[in-house]
Amino acid sequence: MISQPLHQPLPQQPSVHCATLGALPDGTLLAAWFGGTRELASDVVILGARLEAGQAKWSAPEVLVAVPGHALGQPVFLPLADGRLRLFCNVVPPGERWTSAQPHFQDSADGGRSWGPLQSLLDYPGLMFRSKALRLPGRILLPAYDERKWCSRMLVSEDGGDSWRLGEPIVSPPGNIHACLVELDGERLLAYLRSGGQGGVIWRTESRDAGESWTLPQPTSIPNPNAGLDLIRLHSGYLLLACNPVARGRTPLALLRASGEEDWGQPLPIEAGSGEYSYPTLLQSRDGLIHLVYTWRRERIQYARFDEGWLQRNLATAI
């Protein structure tokens, strides 16, 4: 494993959080996160960096989105079939909270080197992003959630991202957000959900109609302290989960792997010190490398990469 800070300290943005990853067709990786004096401060912007294909070092961070006087958050990348790169984010009106955040997007025609104007996606206060989109035949599913009602919803596009409609709310007793999607087989989709409150667990739901409807969420046995998580399906077929597998606090941050949902192994800690290590995002690139970004004590975004061989060897020692 290689693990390193994605960026040097940022004096103008001393508090950073909520990193995401995207991949371009040439293998270039993109990262984005929000940063400012504190979460929801009026100076919070969306920052980004890129790791060019074949390179070992990320570019210096630059501002991708800024709206004077407004807090920004929750960036998510979506490469479109026509070659454009889309960046979704939330814009919070001055003095308001996440419950007033509005969903927006902007497009790039040159792989994220320059961006078009920021545009409103929907007039829906509190509709927020976090998790990566899932491409299916004929449609794109973009997970979203209602910050006011604390329930997940799917944004569905059947025209390559030109228009979107909202799916029905996915409701569970403790509330849920941050749905992470994987395709299990030709018929089933699986979503893992962050639960509300302390002392909870990750919840799960399935779809058998390409994300049009979802089963009633059920609790898993994996603890969740009301914190972000990510779930991907590896090239090998294994499921890989990054989360804080504890009832309270946001440490340790760990990886869990399963061939099926019933055989999650012991967590493999990535960070186990005091402080907050949270909001992981996973991505496996075409070369098989697994990339991980996460919040490191709100001071920086940390980046790690490893392959499935490293994962196999280290999970064996975690048992």
Phi, psi angle pair for 250, to nearest 5°: -120, 40
Residue 187: predicted pLDDT: 82
DSSP per position, 132-195: PPEEETTEEEEEEEETTTTEEEEEEESSTTS--EE---B--TT-EEEEEEEE-SSS-EEEEEEE
Residue 198: predicted pLDDT: 75
- Dig out the tokens for 194 from the structure: 């962050």
Tell me if 78 sits within 8 A of 24, measured CB to CB.
no
Residue 186: predicted pLDDT: 78
Question: Cβ-count burial of 65 within 10 angstroms (0-12 exposed, 13-18 middle, 19+ buried)?
Answer: buried
Q: Which domains does the chain have, with CATH numbers?
A: 10-129 (2.120.10.10)
> How are beta strands 45-51 and 29-36 bridged, if at all?
antiparallel
pTM greater than 0.95: yes
Instruction: Give residue for tokens 């070992």.
Output: 56
Local mean pLDDT, 10-residue blocks, the chain (319 residues): 95 98 98 98 99 95 98 99 98 98 99 98 98 97 98 98 98 95 92 90 97 96 97 97 97 96 91 98 98 98 98 83
Expressed in percent and rounded to 5, the helix, strand and coil fractions of the chain are 5, 50, 45
Tell me if 184 sits within 8 A of 204, measured CB to CB.
no
Residue 319: predicted pLDDT: 56
Residue range 243-271, pLDDT digits in tens: 999 999 999 999 999 998 778 999 999 99
